[in-house]
Amino acid sequence: MAKELVINNTFNECRVALLENGEIIDYLMERNLDKREHTPSVGDIYKGKVVRILPGMQSAFVDIGYTKAAFLYVDDAYIPTLEEQRDMIVRARREREAENMEKIGETIPDEFSTLSEDVNMKYRPECSIESFLKEGDEILVQVAKEPISTKGPRVTRHITVAGRYVVYMPFIEHSGVSRRIQSEEERDRLKSVLDTIRPEGRGVIGRTVAEGQPEDVLKSDYEMLVKVWNNIQETCEGKKAPKMVYKDLTFVQRVLRDITDDDVSSIIVDTKDNLDEAESFVSKYIPRLHGKVKFHKEPTPLFEKFGIDLAVQSALSNKVFLKSGGSINVDQTEALVSIDVNTGRFVGKKSLEETILITNLEAVREISYQLRLRNCGGIIIIDFIDMEKKENREQVYHTLLEALKRDRSKTNVLPISGLGLVEMTRKRTRDTLIRTMCDPCPYCEGTGSIKTTLTVCYELIRELMKFLAKVEGPKVLVYAHPEVTARLSGEDLDVVESLEDVYGKSIQIRSENNYHLEQFELFSE
């Protein structure tokens, strides 16, 4: 199906939406574009200095010149020799064959790649991190995850350099093809081509857009990446850590490289700068889209015209309503994302089981959409409405698997449990939409709730009793939120008057509009 790539620029914010039949299948944004030069981005390469080794966590912190040290895990820190790589491949292949799993080399975990392509083999060193790394070492690392919330960037020593059609791996001997290419005949052809263009001891991965490309195109892309890598090595020589030695493409260029596939029929932008940048990149790397970059001239804002602003706004809410009348509730915490499915106003037409099935199936499509739009990552728990029939549970589960195939991020989904729960994981590569666009509520401080007026009143009265017992002045002033003072001067006035009689002091209640609902202060005169 034809897709449209929509790019909006507002001063120092750039937003991108990939649409398919009007539905957002990917949403990316980058802010403070003028400051991104100094912020680690996925794909950037640094000459860093090891500042701390943590044997208990089998990890290290690396100074790359950013405000927070980068985190390097042992799996990403160890670079195996060529002999070790080949031995690991043989052993891993035997293990997978024994478990009747897929052959090794077909896919590679995202941790090794700066892309959302599943390329890679994971090497697990049998030695500890302190045996091959020590404080003060200067090492070459690449950003695998950007700084998220309070965490610094995560880095890897398994460098990859991404092109339009292939990914070059200078330290890993391997030929692979993106898992998104499903034709076995095409996969075999690409593997054969890639094996011929890479030298011994080096690695290359065919990206999704490599499908159908001739050998000369893939070879040209590979040779360009080798030159880039040689330039990186030359830049490193004589440079003292910490130092950036390679900056990945600009945000717009990365978007065009990474998510523009053969199904994209047009690219729509709303600034002249983005128009020039997109046309230049397309002419060089995506010639089939030459002339397909369009400039939005209409008075209606670009994202408003395509309904993107409305969709993003709804994604900031916990509740999403389904067309049938049901709903899903999405709650994001540090530990996990929980999604609850409800029938709501939908009562169905035949039986309760059918009503539940229809609601769950509709929820599946919306859940897969919301996960992409909100960029939810980590552990995700989905609480479907309980279904009695096994075939209905299996239908919902397989529908979920099918819907998640459109997701560029790697997912792992377990079958529906006896409690109607689905446990799944989704690869976390950047901050969620809510964390990017929102701050914790200063009123509830992120808890999602505040005390009731009645609760605050009784807390105030208890504090007031203690205060009255120890002060000597004849008058006590109570300052509180208007809703609290209204109750103290109305429904609870008899309580206040009783305290005046018991303690023989005058109590004056005053409202402060700028107070938090839970805030109050007591003074004596």
CA pair distance 88, 311, nearest whole angstrom: 46
Tell me the backbone φ, ψ of residue 156, rounded to 5 degrees: -140, 150
Three-state DSSP class for residue 147: coil
Tokens 């208890």 sit at which residue? 462
How does DSSP assign 325-353, residue by residue?
S-EEEEEE-SSEEEEEEE-TT---SS-HH
8 Å CB contact between 171 and 79: yes
Query: CATH topology for 453-524?
Result: Hypothetical Protein Ychn; Chain: A, (3.40.1260)
**Among 50, 32, 49, which residue's Cα sits nearest to residue 41?**
32
Query: CATH topology for 1-38+248-313?
Result: Nucleotidyltransferase; domain 5 (3.30.420)
CATH of domain 42-246: 2.40.50.140
8 Å CB contact between 438 and 484: no
Q: Which two tokens stand for residue 386?
A: 């309980």
8 Å CB contact between 465 and 507: no
CA pair distance 484, 69, nearest whole angstrom: 47
pTM of the full structure: 0.72
Tens of pLDDT along the chain (525 residues) come to: 589 999 999 888 899 999 988 889 889 988 876 666 678 888 999 999 999 999 999 999 999 999 899 999 998 998 887 777 777 767 766 766 666 444 434 333 333 333 334 344 455 666 789 989 999 999 999 999 888 777 889 999 999 999 989 999 999 888 889 888 888 999 999 999 999 998 888 999 999 889 889 999 999 999 999 999 999 999 888 788 899 999 888 889 989 988 887 789 999 999 999 999 999 999 888 888 888 999 999 999 999 999 999 999 888 888 999 988 889 999 988 788 999 998 876 665 667 888 889 899 999 999 999 999 998 988 999 999 988 889 999 999 999 999 998 888 889 999 998 888 999 999 877 778 888 888 888 777 777 788 999 999 999 999 999 999 988 889 999 999 999 999 999 998 999 999 999 999 999 999 999 999 999 999 998
At 466, which amino acid appears?
A: K
Q: Which two tokens stand for residue 393?
A: 């549970």
CA pair distance 43, 62, nearest whole angstrom: 16
Judging by beta carbons within 10 Å of its beta carbon (0-12, 13-18, 19+), is residue 191 exposed, middle or buried? middle
